[in-house]
Amino acid sequence: MKNVSVFMARSFAFIDLSLIDPKGRVFWPDLIKELAKEFSFQKSPQPSELEEKKGLEFRLGKTRDVVIDALKLFDTLVVVETHSNTSDSEEVLDELLQWANGKFALTYTSNMIRGRGYVSDVFFETDFPLLDEVCKPLTTLGAKTSAAMANIWHEQLEYRPIHLSVGHDPLIKKNGIAPFSIQLRTESHISDNRWFSEAPLPTDLHIKLLEEFEADVLALKKV
Mean pLDDT of the chain: 94
Verify that 98 and 172 share a domain, yes or no. Answer: no
What is the sign of the dihedral through the CA atoms of 198, 201, 207 and 208? negative
Verify that 62 and 134 share a domain, yes or no. Answer: no
Q: So what's the pLDDT on residue 34?
A: 95
Domain end among 50, 85, 118: 118
Q: So what's the pLDDT on residue 52?
A: 56
Domain end among 118, 140, 165: 118
Verify that 54 and 148 share a domain, yes or no. Answer: no
pLDDT in tens, 92-134: 999 999 999 999 999 999 999 999 999 999 999 999 999 998 9
* 3 found inside a domain: no
Domain end among 72, 100, 118: 118
pLDDT in tens, 185-218: 999 999 999 999 999 999 999 999 999 999 999 9
Verify that 63 and 104 share a domain, yes or no. Answer: yes
Boundaries of domain holding 102: 11-118
Helix (H, G, I), strand (E, B) or coil at 195: strand
In the predicted model, is pLDDT for residue 53 greater than 80? no
Verify that 95 and 141 share a domain, yes or no. Answer: no
What is the sign of the dihedral through the CA atoms of 39, 206, 163 and 217? positive
Verify that 45 and 77 share a domain, yes or no. Answer: yes
Q: How many independent structural domains does the chain possess? A: 2
Q: Give the start-end residues of each E strand in the chain.
A: 2-14, 56-63, 66-74, 77-82, 115-125, 163-166, 180-184, 194-199
pLDDT in tens, 157-179: 999 999 999 999 999 988 889 99
